[in-house]
Amino acid sequence: MAGIYLHIPFCKQACHYCDFHFSTSLKYKGEMLDALRKELILRKDYLQDETIGSIYFGGGTPSLLSTKEINQIVDDIYNNFKVDSSIEITLEANPDDLTKEKTRELRASLINRFSIGVQSFYEEDLRWMNRAHNAQEAQTAIKRVQDSGFENITADLIYGFPLLTDIKWINNIQQIIDLEIPHLSAYSMTIEPQTPLASFIRKGVQKPMNDGQSADQFVMLMNMITENGFEQYEISNFARNSLYSKHNTNYWKGVSYLGIGPSAHSFNGFGRQWNIANNSKYISAILKNEIPAENEVLSEADRFNEYIMTSLRTKWGVDLNYLKQNFPIDFTEILNETMQKNIFDGKIKKEQSIYTLSTEGKLLADQIASDLFIT
């Protein structure tokens, strides 16, 4: 089943590490939401009448929207698309937005999954990142959402940055375990060129990231979280009781999705489309019934590489039988040759027709995938 992603391009303040498209001004929020809703109508045929199995409010900070605004968008999707009865509807939320009143309102909406941007339970880390919430709000928000009756919750954590000692990292992971959250997404701090953090490092104001620290803390994460009942079903994602993210799993499995909003990407199996990352130009184009987007038709090699890159990150791995059925035989012969070397080096495991990364391989996932690409 297909998914719909909605990019809400507004934040209270800019996190120092973030390079997603957003604005800290809410001046044109009304016009933007009108444009988002209109784009849904303009592009309702993109998914070719596929049933919608997931809706994902991302950004930006979607929790800045009122519950009424969220409901209006969800209603538009129900009115214009075929929606599965067990649909997953996720709202990314900052802890400081999840007040008692907001949580109570959302409980009465169709939102049934929260992605809470915790990042760290330490005050000094949050200040260093320039997050809008504080450490107490992170814990309070999670408990408040749980007390309201929401069970499908994920939290984000970041590791591999100078302030995060190993002890603090272990404590952050333990907090997730103790709070009985069923899903965790954890990411290594990366330096994107146009971010304030990148500028601070260039000027010598901040220390650069340490690859060795990041690798060590990733291994700590894998060991600790899996010992406590979580399954690592994707490089950066861990779930209890198979409570995987339906929406993100579809990305990794190559399922079609429609991206709505400025900078949002769409995929239909054979091509990609991405909207302009400019709020005013996006709104202006939509008002003229135009989609301000670029398109790319994927070649056979592109689709092969895409499958390798996404599948290898998951517990489901790369299926040799699937490749033989969907791609030229010389593609699979080249792949097999490179795979054998990685198997010999202990980076990849093979069980029947499935290739998956070993623990060592997960530390080098991007490099291994690129070595397997067809050029």
- What is the domain-level CATH number for residue 357? 1.10.10.920
Q: What is the mean pLDDT of each run of 10 residues along the chain (375 residues)?
A: 98 95 94 98 96 98 97 98 98 97 96 98 98 96 96 98 98 98 98 95 95 98 98 98 97 96 96 97 98 97 96 97 93 89 94 96 95 91
Residue 355: the pLDDT is 97
Clarify whether residues 133 and 228 are in a common domain.
yes
Last residue of a domain, one of 223, 251, 279: 251
The reply to whether 354 falls in a domain is yes
Clarify whether residues 333 and 229 are in a common domain.
no
CATH number at residue 92: 3.80.30.20
Angle subtended at Cα 12 by Cα 9 and Cα 14, rounded to the nearest 5 degrees: 80
The whole-angstrom separation of Cα 8 and Cα 337 is 44
Retrieve residue 311's tokens.
Answer: 């599948």
Residue 107: the pLDDT is 95
Residue 332: the pLDDT is 87
User: What does each C-alpha distance from 192 to 83, 202, 309, 343 come to in angstroms?
Assistant: 36, 12, 20, 32
The whole-angstrom separation of Cα 295 and Cα 302 is 14
Give the residue carrying structure tokens 């990019």: 7
Last residue of a domain, one of 234, 251, 268: 251
Clarify whether residues 227 and 314 are in a common domain.
no
Clarify whether residues 308 and 182 are in a common domain.
no
The reply to whether 293 falls in a domain is no
User: What does each C-alpha distance from 56 to 52, 89, 91, 239, 263 come to in angstroms?
Assistant: 11, 6, 6, 18, 15
Do residues 60 and 26 touch, judged by C-beta distance below 8 A? no
Domain assignment of residue 40, given as a range? 2-251
Q: How many separate domains does the chain show?
A: 2
The reply to whether 281 falls in a domain is no
Residue 334: the pLDDT is 87
The whole-angstrom separation of Cα 157 and Cα 198 is 20
Clarify whether residues 231 and 372 are in a common domain.
no
Residue 213: the pLDDT is 98
Last residue of a domain, one of 195, 226, 251: 251
Clarify whether residues 48 and 195 are in a common domain.
yes
End-to-end CA separation in angstroms for the chain: 31
The whole-angstrom separation of Cα 281 and Cα 89 is 28
The reply to whether 76 falls in a domain is yes
Q: 323 CB contacts (<8 Å, ≥6 apart)?
A: 304, 307, 331, 332, 335
The reply to whether 344 falls in a domain is yes
Clarify whether residues 162 and 224 are in a common domain.
yes
Phi, psi of 2 (to 5 degrees): -75, 170
Residue 336: the pLDDT is 86
Q: Is 86 exposed, middle or buried (0-12, 13-18, 19+ CB in 10 A)?
A: exposed
